[in-house]
Amino acid sequence: MAGPLHCPCQGAWLAPLFVYTAPPAGETRFAPPSAPYRRTVWRCRLCGHCVSQHAMDPAALYAGAYVEATYGDEGLRRAFARIVSLPPARSDNAGRVRRLLAFAAAHFGPAAPPPTLLDVGSGLGVFVHAMRAAGWRCTALDPDPRAVRHARDVVGVAAVCGDFLQVRDLGRFDVVTFNKVLEHVADPVAMLAKSACHLQPGGFVYVEVPDADAARREGPEREEFFIEHLHVFSAASLALLAQRAGFWVRQLARLHEPSGKYTLYAFLTPEAEQETAHAGCCQSPVEPVGPRQ
């Protein structure tokens, strides 16, 4: 089991929402074909949060199987080139960049220097690529060494390989982003909480997660409930996640993205500025691997 997984409301009100005995159309097969497919999505009757319980090995997923299975032979480089060439009206990333730039301009003010950004779970790097083009100083973090090499060599940003919960000496940034990341981790509260100690005073966090309430109305085949998502959030559970991780919700809204995905996003600021380092995770300045010259 990939659990026990906890609802951000810490309640014991989980009831089965969808039971799968075969993968929904379009879902990547991670489990060995010989293993019977059995998976249940549970929904909290209090806050609307959903968790997915199954027998898949999450370590195998993030050791490279996810990138391999999701992008196949096309490779990171070709997938990156395809996505960055999408017209803005068809690009989820273009909308994300617009939201970030608008919020940052209001939050930091028009005279502020270009912000520093840490993107946790950078994947293909399309987001840091666009933010770098907008003048931001970006660092990509990913547990997959292929994604890190791609961020450094193709996207041209500083990049760090590691599990965000384990990695040390990252330093502090004006903005930390989690774009479709927290649904993949067992403990999203711990993951989000750690970002507070990597924020510069006055900084903010941006979070995007799949929207369970919009997706469940269309049934169990929706991609928001695919096997790689351990958590699927409601507006209430995203707000509770932020609160439990020590953040104040500045903005929270629902999107139906150009790709068809149902998404929730939120801008968060810490309830209290972190004056002291958390257990050594941010004691020295960032020394990431820089882009190749």
**Which positions lie near Zn ion, rule CB under 5 A?**
7, 9, 11, 44, 46-47, 49
**Count of other CB atoms within 10 angstroms of residue 24:** 16
Which is nearer to Zn ion, 76 or 241 (by Cβ)? Answer: 241
Alpha carbons within 13 angstroms on the beta-carbon side of residue 244 total 16
Which is nearer to Zn ion, 49 or 152 (by Cβ)? Answer: 49
CB of 42 to Zn ion, least distance (A): 10
Q: Which of 29, 33, 39 is nearest to 70 (CA)?
A: 29
Residues 271 and 258: their CA atoms lie apart, in Å, by 33
Which is nearer to Zn ion, 44 or 117 (by Cβ)? Answer: 44
Query: Looking at residue 197, what DSSP letter applies?
Result: G
Residues 65 and 29: their CA atoms lie apart, in Å, by 10
Which is nearer to Zn ion, 62 or 225 (by Cβ)? Answer: 225
CB of 183 to Zn ion, least distance (A): 15
CB of 9 to Zn ion, least distance (A): 3
Which is nearer to Zn ion, 104 or 239 (by Cβ)? Answer: 239
Q: Which of 180, 214, 199 is nearest to 268 (CA)?
A: 199
CB of 44 to Zn ion, least distance (A): 3
CB of 22 to Zn ion, least distance (A): 28
Residues 192 and 56: their CA atoms lie apart, in Å, by 24
Cross-strand partners of 209 = 264
201: left (phi over 0), alpha (psi -120 to 50) or beta: beta
Q: What is the CA radius of gyration of the chain?
A: 18
CB of 84 to Zn ion, least distance (A): 37
Which is nearer to Zn ion, 167 or 236 (by Cβ)? Answer: 236
CB of 6 to Zn ion, least distance (A): 9
Contact 240, 192 (CB under 8 A): no
Which is nearer to Zn ion, 67 or 209 (by Cβ)? Answer: 209
User: What does the longest C-alpha to C-alpha distance in the chain come to?
Assistant: 59
